[in-house]
Chain A
Amino acid sequence: MRQVGGAHRGLDLWLVQRVSAVYMALFLPVFWFCRAGTGYTGWHALFLGLPMKAAAALFVAALLLHAWIGLREILIDYVHPLAWRLPLYFLFALAYAGCLVWAVDILWKVQ
C-alpha cells in the first residue's frame, strides 16, 4: 500500500466536538440556575440581557456543530462514495446553518 502522511485533519474537528460538548455541559446548569421564574415574563426577563443572548446563541452553535461533526462521522462510516457523502455534508451544513440563523433571529427578537 502506498504510504502517504496523515491528512493532518480529524484532530481539529475532534477537538471542536470535545470543546463544544464541554461548553454545552457548562451552559446547561448555568441556564437552569439563572431561570428566575416560569411563564413568559420569567423567560422574557432572562433573555433580555445581551450576555444571555450571546451565551444562548453560542450554545445553539455548539449544539449544531457537535451534531454536524457527529453526523459527519456517521456519514464517513456508512456512506463511502464521495459523490454521495460530500453533498450530504453540504446539505446538512446548510440546514444547520439555517437553524442557527433562525435561533439567533428568535433570540434577538426578544426586546
Chain B
Amino acid sequence: MRFRIYRYDPESIGKPRMQDYEIEFDPQGKKVLDALIALKDGLDESLTFRRSCREGVCGSDGVNVNGRNVLACVTPLEGLKQPIEIRPLPRLPVIRDLIVDMAQFYQHYRAVKPYLINLEPEPESERLQSPEERAELDGLWECILCGCCTTSCPSFWWNPERFLGPAALLQGYRFIADSRDQASGERLDFLEDPYRLFRCHGIMNCVEVCPKGLNPTQAIGKIKTLLVKRAL
C-alpha cells in the first residue's frame, strides 16, 4: 500500500514536507491507525502520531485522511484512494508530523464552563430526571473532544481565537439542556456574542465529519432559538 504522510519536526525537518511510504499490508478489515502503527514499527520509528484507545472512544487520533477529518482508528483502509494522504488536522499549529497543538481547542472548551452548576443543597440520593429530560442530552454528552469538527469549520479557520467552534458550543449546549443545571441564563449571556457564537454560518462541515455522528449545528441552532426566545 502507498501512503503520503505530512512530516514536520522543528528539530530534524526544518520545513514541512510530504513523505511517500510503501509497505506490504493487507488492508482487509484494517484501519488507518493499524497502517500508521505498522509503518512506525516496521519502517520509520520517527513517524509521530497520537493514539490511545484504538476504538474510536478517546479522541486522540483525529487526522486528515484524503482531505477529510477522521479518527484514524475507525477509518477503514479499504476503499481509500492510494496513495493515502495523511495530514494533521487543519488550522491548528503542528507540533510534529500528525500531532497538532490543541491548546486553543481546549481553551474554548473550558470557556463554556463545561460542568454542572447547581447551587441547591445536595439531596440525600440522586436528583431526579425523567427519561425525557435525560433524552435531551443524547447527542451532546457523547462528544470525545477529538477536534475533527472544529478544525473542519471555515468560521474557526477565520477566527480561531474568538469563535468557540462547534465542539465547545456543543458542550455549552450540553449543560444548558441539562434539567439539573441552573446557570442557563449565565451561559446564554456568555454565548450571546458576535464572535463566540454568531460566527457559525450553518455550513455544516462539522456535522459531516463528526465520527460520533453528533450534530453541533443543531445544538448551535437550539442555542440561537433560546436566545431569541429570551429576547422576545
Contacts and interface: CB of A to CB of B under 8 A. Distances in A.
A and B touch in their complex, CB below 8 angstroms: yes
B107 to A, nearest CB: 6
A3 interface: yes
Q: How large is the interface on A (under 10, 10 to 19, 20 to 34, 35 or more residues)?
A: 10 to 19
B62 to A, nearest CB: 23
B155 A11 contact: no
B199 interface: yes
A87 interface: no
Contacts of A82: none
Interface residues of B, number: 23
Given A11-B198, A77-B155, A6 B191 contact: yes
Contacts of B227: 11
A76 B159 contact: yes
Contact of B192 (A3, A10, A73, A78): A10
A108 interface: no
A78 B158 contact: yes
Contacts of A7: 192-195
Interface in A6-30: 6-15
B201 interface: yes
Chain B contact residues: over half helix, strand or loop, or mixed?
A: helix
Nearest to A1: B107
Contacts of A11: 192, 198, 224, 227-228, 231
B172 to A, nearest CB: 11
Nearest to A9: B194
A64 B192 CA distance: 24
Given A1-B107, A78-B158, A73 B201 contact: yes
Contacts of B111: 1, 3
B115 interface: no
A5 interface: yes
Interface string B170-195: 00000000000000000011111111
B87 interface: no
Contacts of A14: 198, 224
Given A6-B189, A8-B189, A15 B194 contact: no
Contacts of B224: 11, 14
Contact of A10 (B107, B155, B159, B198): B198
B197 interface: yes
Contacts of B191: 6
Interface string A33-75: 0000000000000000000000000000000000000000100
B158 A6 contact: no
Contacts of A15: 228, 231
10 contacts: A3-B111, A5-B190, A6-B196, A7-B195, A9-B193, A10-B194, A11-B224, A11-B231, A15-B231, A77-B154
Given A8-B189, A11-B198, 4 more contacts: A1-B111, A7-B193, A7-B194, A77-B199
Interface of A: 1, 3, 5-15, 73, 76-78
